[in-house]
């Protein structure tokens, strides 16, 4: 995922006998991707990491279901109007749009997770619209704040600890085929290239804190779109050290280095992460196109292979109106889309945009859920009609 790092105590080679000063043996846990061929990390536990007994699944968030639609239409969902049931991140996420590659959801948690969670179905990518806190995992503590992307790799045991008094609003993207940094941003030895839109220094990694016992013995595992409960024999955070390239990380959207062209550049220049069947792009404040006769407004287009999703972190989005903070738009393939009436016509001469948004281009049809349809702006498709 990112470059190899090492924290705490690790032996000189993997799979060697490794003991505490007391003589007790430490236990390896190898966390591998792509079978044994992909990126991996090796974590060293004080106790056997594979002791968990099945129990009731007392937690779990909403799983996506299709809300049948009579028309193929451009849609707009107001995420901040979703019923705020509150509760823990593990319980309160609402699914909104999904297909075989991604599940987009929205969460407004009000309390910290009371159990540990392993998502064995998907890498998770969050965009923190509001709120702050700590992702606590066996890799250490990772603080997050508004404007952060937070990536939690598949299989990472973790829980969220919310900052006191902090109102939370998170976009979540479950990436069922994984998510990571585009290969074309890396050089032959894996470094981020000097013309990538970010550098290694922009990413925040977990702060290793050593063995921790929070007294929590509950674990919830999501596998095959179902939740399963376990009772742990001891704290799973009994880690004395680890190294590897698989771990959660944060990337602040404000660190994304946008590109600007003589004339309008297409969305791939904003690509931040790549998932199976999807790209995740960051639209950030930037100067606009500098040809003296440029029209800096996005042109109407038919992108015939992908559905487009935009999540608006603020309402200053030049080509769209009627949207605001927390809006989620879905423009399906099959019908062209473009700017609202007036935006294309009024854009020439504009030199700057203050937009802040997360965009996904997703292969294959996305389906809206009943939760999404309940907060749909029913006038959105018609709002593109010239008056
Ligand atoms: Fe588009």
User: 2 alpha carbon to ligand 1 midpoint, in Å?
Assistant: 29
Task: Indicate the pTM of the whole model.
Answer: 0.97
User: 121 alpha carbon to ligand 1 midpoint, in Å?
Assistant: 29
User: 254 alpha carbon to ligand 1 midpoint, in Å?
Assistant: 22
User: 195 alpha carbon to ligand 1 midpoint, in Å?
Assistant: 25
Q: What residues does 327 pair with on adjacent strands?
A: 78
What pLDDT, in 10s, does the model give residues 96-119? 999 999 999 999 999 999 999 999
Per DSSP, 206 falls in state: P
User: 277 alpha carbon to ligand 1 midpoint, in Å?
Assistant: 16
User: 301 alpha carbon to ligand 1 midpoint, in Å?
Assistant: 7
* Alpha-carbon span 290 to 242, nearest angstrom: 48
User: 86 alpha carbon to ligand 1 midpoint, in Å?
Assistant: 33
Q: Cβ distance 47 to 27 under 8 Å? A: yes
User: 337 alpha carbon to ligand 1 midpoint, in Å?
Assistant: 6
Report how far apart, in Å, the C-alpha atoms of 327 and of each of 78, 169, 175 are. 5, 12, 21
User: 23 alpha carbon to ligand 1 midpoint, in Å?
Assistant: 61
User: 145 alpha carbon to ligand 1 midpoint, in Å?
Assistant: 28
Kindly report the backbone phi and psi dihedral angles of residue 384, in degrees, each rounded to the nearest multiple of 5, phi listed first: -90, -5
User: 266 alpha carbon to ligand 1 midpoint, in Å?
Assistant: 9
- Lowest mean pLDDT segment, chosen from 36-50, 267-281, 315-329: 315-329
| CB neighbour class for 70 (10 Å; exposed up to 12, middle 13-18, buried from 19) | exposed
User: 338 alpha carbon to ligand 1 midpoint, in Å?
Assistant: 6
Number of C-alpha atoms within 13 angstroms, CB side, residue 238?
21
What pLDDT, in 10s, does the model give residues 332-344? 999 999 998 988 8
User: 333 alpha carbon to ligand 1 midpoint, in Å?
Assistant: 10
Q: Return the C-alpha torsion angle 71, 74, 79, 81, nearest 10.
A: -60
Ligand 1 (ion): residues with CB under 5 Å are: 308
What share of the chain has pLDDT > 70, as a percent?
Answer: 98
What pLDDT, in 10s, does the model give residues 149-167? 999 999 999 999 999 999 9
């Amino acid at each position: 995922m990112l470059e190899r790092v090492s924290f705490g105590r690790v032996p000189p080679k993997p799979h060697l006998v490794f003991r505490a000063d007391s003589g007790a043996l430490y236990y390896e846990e190898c966390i591998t991707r792509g079978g044994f061929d992909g990126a991996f990390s090796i974590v060293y536990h004080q106790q056997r990491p594979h002791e968990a007994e099945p129990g009731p699944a007392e937690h779990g968030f909403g799983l996506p279901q299709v809300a049948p639609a009579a028309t193929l239409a451009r849609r707009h969902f107001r995420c901040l109007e979703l019923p705020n049931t509150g509760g823990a991140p593990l319980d309160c996420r609402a699914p909104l749009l999904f297909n075989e590659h991604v599940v987009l959801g929205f969460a407004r948690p009000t309390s910290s997770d009371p159990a540990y969670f392993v998502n064995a179905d998907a890498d998770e990518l969050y965009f923190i619209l509001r709120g702050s806190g700590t992702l606590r995992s066996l890799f250490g503590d990772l603080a997050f704040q508004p404007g952060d992307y937070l990536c939690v790799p598949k299989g990472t045991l973790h829980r969220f600890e919310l900052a006191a008094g902090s109102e939370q609003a998170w976009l979540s993207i479950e990436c069922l085929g994984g998510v990571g940094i585009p290969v074309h941003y890396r050089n032959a030895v894996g470094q981020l290239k000097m013309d990538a839109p970010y550098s290694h220094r922009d990413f925040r990694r977990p702060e290793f804190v050593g063995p921790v016992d929070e007294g929590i013995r509950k674990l919830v595992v999501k596998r095959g779109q179902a939740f399963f409960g376990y009772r742990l024999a001891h704290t799973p955070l009994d880690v004395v050290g680890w190294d590897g390239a698989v771990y959660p990380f944060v990337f602040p959207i404000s660190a994304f280095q946008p590109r600007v062209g003589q004339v309008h550049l297409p969305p791939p220049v904003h690509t931040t992460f790549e998932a199976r069947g999807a790209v995740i792009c960051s639209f950030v404040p930037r100067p606009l196109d500098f040809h003296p006769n440029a029209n800096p407004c996005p042109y109407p287009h038919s992108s015939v292979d992908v559905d487009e999703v935009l999540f608006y972190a603020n309402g200053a989005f030049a080509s769209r109106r009627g949207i605001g903070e927390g809006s989620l738009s879905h423009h399906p393939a099959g019908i062209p889309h473009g700017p609202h009436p007036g935006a294309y016509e009024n854009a020439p001469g504009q030199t700057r945009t203050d937009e802040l948004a997360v965009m996904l281009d997703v292969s294959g049809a996305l389906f809206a859920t009943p939760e999404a349809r309940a907060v749909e702006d029913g006038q959105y498709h018609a709002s593109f009609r010239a008056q």
